[in-house]
Amino acid sequence: MKWSRSVSIGNGHGTTQGVNVKILSTFECPSLSAVDESESDDDADDEPIHAIAPVTDNEAWIGSGWETTRIGLVERNGQNRRLVDVDSRIDDFALTPNNELLMSCFREKLIKRLSKDGDIVSEIHTPFFPRGITSCSDGGFIVCMTDDYSTSLASDSRRLLMKYSNEYELKDSYEIYEESRLFRRPYRVAENNNGDICVSDRTSMGSGRVIVLFSNGKLRFVYEGPSNNQCERKFAPAGIVCDHLGRILVADTNNHCVHILDQSGQFLGFLLKREDGLVSPHTLSFDRAGGLWIGDELGNIRVFQYTQRSVMS
């Protein structure tokens, strides 16, 4: 069913900002699974959508199911245009400016690069297990790294972000700020238009927080959910993305909603909620035309037109 509506979100200064959201498409992702599905991760569900990278406003690379080694190029009408077996189980991926696909392979400790033609053109081994990955405005990329799958920490645990150049040269890492750990288990990452680094950090198997760093790795703020008890359950951030105005959108799987924050970490409101059809949203991604793609833990994908709206005071 097609629908549209306007969302007014307060900025805390007596004015409101507006966003128009219009549903363009909703579909169940076609199966990408390999034959052997006997293993499962502890946070996996039946074919969750754990990675989306739109190539155009009509098609996107999709990662669905934690155990498959295949990814699909899927159209907005749900048609699977192409299947590619990348010979590794993919955790997350991100599109580069020239439409190559960077893929994090958690179990194998690999970053792979897929060409526009669907061929693996390069790969590097990583010192830790890679999870979320995002392309950067300078042509490089940032990866969430952990030395263990657990959210528990030991004195020698390693939980960090690593920034690479486009040629895989390690440029920087972010792990400690003022003698304290920044992360428990960094899960997904996005770069904002001001250079800030926005991270979904899991603090337990059912809860988490958003940590935002300045571009130099210094802590800017921590967001643990709205302070006014608007969430019925613990805040559980997963996918994270930034819009063209620098606002931060966060998928909350426990509360079936998408939070919007400003660049300073102030909660502005909910973009979408369960009554809009969201169930355990997991993955967020914008296409280059401004369409918002949302994948959930049940294998469904929704595409929204997302536009700024002027609000008269």
What span, in angstroms and rounded, lies between the C-alpha atoms of 258 and 188?
Answer: 15
Q: Where are the beta strands (DSSP E) in 106-252?
A: 110-114, 120-125, 129-135, 141-146, 159-164, 170-174, 176-177, 180-181, 186-191, 197-204, 207-213, 219-223, 237-242, 248-252
pTM here?
A: 0.91
What span, in angstroms and rounded, lies between the C-alpha atoms of 232 and 142?
Answer: 32
Angle at 103 between CA 100 and CA 107, to 5 degrees: 160
Q: What is the pLDDT of residue 3?
A: 61
What span, in angstroms and rounded, lies between the C-alpha atoms of 127 and 119?
Answer: 24
* Residue that is written with structure tokens 């900002």 in the block: 17
What span, in angstroms and rounded, lies between the C-alpha atoms of 183 and 202?
Answer: 8
Determine the residue type at 144: C
Q: What is the pLDDT of residue 71?
A: 96
β partners of residue 284: 294
**Pairing outcome for strands 197-204 and 186-191:** antiparallel
SS3 call for 309:
strand
Residues of the chain with pLDDT under 50: 12-16, 35-45, 312-313
SS3 call for 160:
strand
What span, in angstroms and rounded, lies between the C-alpha atoms of 272 and 66?
Answer: 26
- Phi, psi values for residue 119, rounded to 5°: -110, 140
Least Cα distance to 221 among 192, 245, 244 occurs for 192
Q: What is the pLDDT of residue 40?
A: 44
Residues belonging to the chain: 313
Domain ranges of the chain: 4-309
Structure tokens belonging to residue 186: 């960094």
- Say if residues 186 and 161 touch (Cβ distance below 8 Å): yes
> 3-state secondary structure string, 26-50?
EEECCCCCCCCCCCCCCCCCCCCEE
Least Cα distance to 268 among 3, 2, 7 occurs for 7
Q: What is the pLDDT of residue 12?
A: 47
- Say if residues 40 and 66 touch (Cβ distance below 8 Å): yes
Q: What is the pLDDT of residue 145?
A: 98
In words, the CATH class of domain 4-309 is: mainly beta
Query: Number of C-alpha atoms within 13 angstroms, CB side, residue 1?
Result: 4
